[in-house]
Structure 1
Amino acid sequence: NHITVAHLLSHTSGIQNHVAVPGYLDIFKTSITSKHFPPRDELLKEFYKLPSEFAPGETWAYDNTGYYLLGIIVEKGSGKDFWQFLDDRIFKPLGMNATRNTDTRQIVPNRASGYEWVNNKFENRPVLLPFIAFSAGSILSTVEDMAKWDAALYTERLFKRSTLERMWTPTKTRDGALASFDYGLGWFVDNYHGHRIVQHTGGTPGFSSVIYRFMDDRLAIIILSNHADRLLDQLAIDIAGIYVPALKRPGGKIDPDPETTLRLKEVMSNLLNGKHDPALFTAPMRVFLPTFTGKGFWQWIAYQGALTSFTFSGREDAGDHYRLRYRIGLGGNPYWISFKVMKDGKIAQIYNS
């Protein structure tokens, strides 16, 4: 009850993310050589068995289930198959001729295979097929086609300007607070040294991707990788810094508040080990962290390796909160992490950047 389409689009519905529930995808018997899957009606019945993790609008938690339901809404509203709808309304009008769903029966020239690094060697990974991910994933594309999508978003070819601005406005909680992530409708929203960013990452078995749109600079960084579970955000910003000097990562800075840095390092170390002190976080973050998505996010970060360094990179003030950025080491590799901290010291957001 009381769940709206906007809740689904902004990942604030509270519906549990079926993909993040351990063992849930075992109902799909899929491998490189074979597949078995339940019909949609049966899958929807399984969705209804999932408990709500929070009340609609109480916080944000990424939810593939919600986007699966949105695809069904598109089909019911348009009277068309979801993939046909995308082809008619987006792909064909924009000339995105290489973009389609991931059905392996299609012959696609130069189609990449997906891999994952396991036990010091690469292993093949099966494609996430349309009958599994449906409208929550399963799109096959190229950088060239994604550039056409990016260009269209500077115009009103697909959406009215007011719709675009709504897409790129962070959704607040029902109480008007910062949600656990700044997310509009289908896009993460950020600000990097005064430069507005809308972005999204994606990951399926064997593949990782990211699109970062630096709106004020009319610059898009698109990275498609056939390597699973990679953190690509830092690469997008590093590449942007090559083209726009103002976006270049700052060099070493003197830490103005080493005590806060030590506190946040301890917070992150605990999260990487599956622990946290709720008293340190805002109410939306306290709700988010125990969700399957919240736990899964930190398991994914921990998958990159042990925390080996945590160095101050910069601070930006923004009204009732401030943003602290750190260069960290995970498994010996460099990444960047941002904390949004309220003036009362409570942590409102933590995200890779």
Structure 2
Amino acid sequence: MGIDEYLEQRFEQLALPGLSCSFGFGEQIQSYAYGLCDIESKRSLDVNSIFNIASVGKLITSVCILKLAEENSFTLNTPITELISKIPSQWNSVKISHLLTHSSGIINYTDVPDYWAECSLDVPKARILEYVNDRELTFEPGSNWKYSNTGFYLLGMIIEKVSKLDYFDFALKLISECRPGLKILKTDDRLSSPGKVTGYLRKGDKFVLPPYYSNSGTFSAGGFSATLHDFLEFERALFNGEILSKGSLAMLTQPFFKEDGSVLSGPDVKLKFEMTHGLFRFRRSGRTQLAHGGEIMGFKTDYMRMVDADFSAILSANTDTDFGGLEMLNKIYDLAITKY
């Protein structure tokens, strides 16, 4: 079975509005698209369609922070109190590395009901922090792991403070200096643009439009949209050493060690992983795999890289249905190494 045949088969089995995938192996990037860009106008999805990649965009935030650290703006051991003013005293021992590795103990603001009551509002950054700044840390920073969008939101604020630029401007400048013209852009659900994909919520056997979701609540925790091909162009330039030094790339690929000398790992016994400075690290069939998922109203995306094989892939659907994206990417890898 070929990759195209496999993806088309899965698309039909899952009954998704649309499905797209890009993978890179060596010098080659292949892209595929199936179904509809939007149901209402019945526009067909194609390889240039633009998806909301949600938390997969956290990789971009990690790269921006590592780049600024290379420029001696700070170190990863710098306490965030040195870079962000007016933060709760219980965050005084939180370092930048803790934000990158989800080991800060700071509560995830998307776990707070008040956030969801206001997620359609364009609120200031201070309001996002108000959801969590009176909550105690769930553990001592650096001692444990718990996913926190708040940590990556704070990283965006640090990027703005240090660079004196808007977070999105800084990130897109960094990307364009390496690969000009890539369709990677700030998400804005209020704007229509050519190729923009419409996301849907599944309600029984139907798909419905989600309510407006403000990017002010996503920001550096996942506020980018992109064509999958262009995201992979950026990702492959990154891991080819065109943006960061070898030392910084090692931070993305190697596990984070806690102060007691043990590796920071996730609590999921079903899918065990180690945490790097921004990515989840697995072992599969003797190979090191890096991965990150993204889910937001109307979209589901999964990204992975097989470090030892120089293979990377990203898969998106325009519904937030969990369709086993990482398992599909592993299947695509198995098919690709047989063919190429």
Match of 1:24 in 2: 114
Residue 245 (structure 1) shift? 4.5
Tell me how far apart the structure 1 counterparts of residues 103 and 261 of structure 2 sit (CA, whole Å). 13
Alignment-derived partner of residue 100 in structure 1: 185
Aligned residue identity for 1:86 = A
Q: TM-score, normalised by structure 1?
A: 0.64
Query: Does 2:336 correspond to 1:243?
Result: yes
- Relative to structure 1, is the Cα distance of residues 24 and 91 closer, same or farther in structure 2, using a 3 angstrom cutoff? farther
**What aligned pairs does 1:274-285 form with structure 2 within 5 A after superposition?**
none
Q: 1:200 aligns to what SS in structure 2?
A: strand
**SS of 1:103 mapped into structure 2:** coil
Corresponding residue number in structure 2 for 1:258 = none
Please say if residues 8 and 66 of structure 1, whose CA atoms lie closer than 8 Å, have aligned partners that are also in contact: yes
1:170 aligns with 2:255: yes
Larger relative contact order (C-alpha < 8 A, sep ≥ 6)?
2
1:224 is matched with 316
Measure how far apart 1:88 and its partner are.
Answer: 0.9
Alpha-carbon distance change, 103 to 58 in structure 1, aligned in 2, over 3 angstroms:
same
Structure 1 residues 29 and 2, CA gap change in structure 2 (3 angstroms): closer
Q: Name stretches of at least 5 consecutive residues in structure 1 with no aligned partner.
A: 31-35, 247-353
Contact in 2 for aligned 1:213/1:219 (Cα 8 Å) = yes
State the distance in 2 between where 1:125 and 1:95 align: 33
Q: In 1, Cα distance between the equivalents of 2:300 and 2:191?
A: 21
Match of 2:326 among 216, 233, 248: 233
Question: Given the alignment, which residue of 297, 307, 313 partners 1:205?
Answer: 297
Tell me: CA distance 1:138–1:127, structure 2 relative to 1, closer, same or farther (3 Å).
Answer: farther
Is contact 2:176-2:182 (8 Å) kept?
yes
Distance 1:229 1:54 in 2: 32
CA contact (8 A) 1:166 1:185 kept: yes
Mapped to 1, the partners of 2:221 and 2:250 lie a distance apart of 22
Determine whether 1:214 maps to 2:306: yes
- Work out the CA distance in 1 between the residues paired with 2:210 and 2:141: 35
Give the C-alpha shift of residue 14 in structure 1. Answer: 0.4
Query: Aligned partners of 2:309 and 2:274: how far apart in 1?
Result: 20
Matches of 1:42 and 1:201, distance apart in 2:
26
Q: CA RMSD in A?
A: 1.9
Which has more radius of gyration? Answer: 1
Q: In the alignment, residue 168 of structure 1 is paired with which amino acid?
A: T
Please tell me the residue identity of whatever aligns with 2:334.
G
Residues 114 and 127, structure 1, Cα contact 8 Å, conserved in 2: no
1:119 match: 204
Change beyond 3 A, Cα 1:105–1:125: closer
Aligned residues with identical type, % of pairs? 27
Q: CA separation of 1:143/1:96 partners in 2, compared to 1, >3 Å: closer, same or farther? A: farther
Contact persistence 1:10–1:184 (CA under 8 A): yes
Corresponding residue to 1:191 among 283, 308, 314: 283
TM superposition shift of 1:229: 4.1
Size of the aligned set, in residue pairs, is 240
Alpha-carbon deviations, 1:34-56, whole Å to 9, x = none? xx343222332333123211110
Q: Which residue identity is paired with 2:307?
A: M
Which secondary structure state, in structure 2, belongs to the residue aligned with residue 244 of structure 1?
helix
TM-aligned CA deviation for residue 127 of structure 1: 5.4
* Whole-Å separation in 1 of the counterparts to 2:119 and 2:215: 14
Instruction: For residue 166 of structure 1, give the secondary structure of its aligned residue in structure 2.
Output: helix
Q: Using the TM superposition, give the Cα deviation of residue 105 of structure 1 relative to its aligned residue in structure 2, in angstroms.
A: 4.0
> 1:61 & 1:44 partners in 2: Cα distance?
17
SS in structure 2 opposite 1:122? strand
Q: Secondary structure at the match of 2:130?
A: helix
> How many angstroms apart in 1 are the aligned matches of 2:183 and 2:211?
20
Task: Give the deviation of 1:206 after TM superposition.
Answer: 0.7
Per-residue displacement from partner, 1:199-244 (whole Å, max 9, x unpaired)?
1111111111111111221111210211104231111101111112
Aligned partner of residue 153 in structure 1, secondary structure: helix
SS at match of 1:77: helix
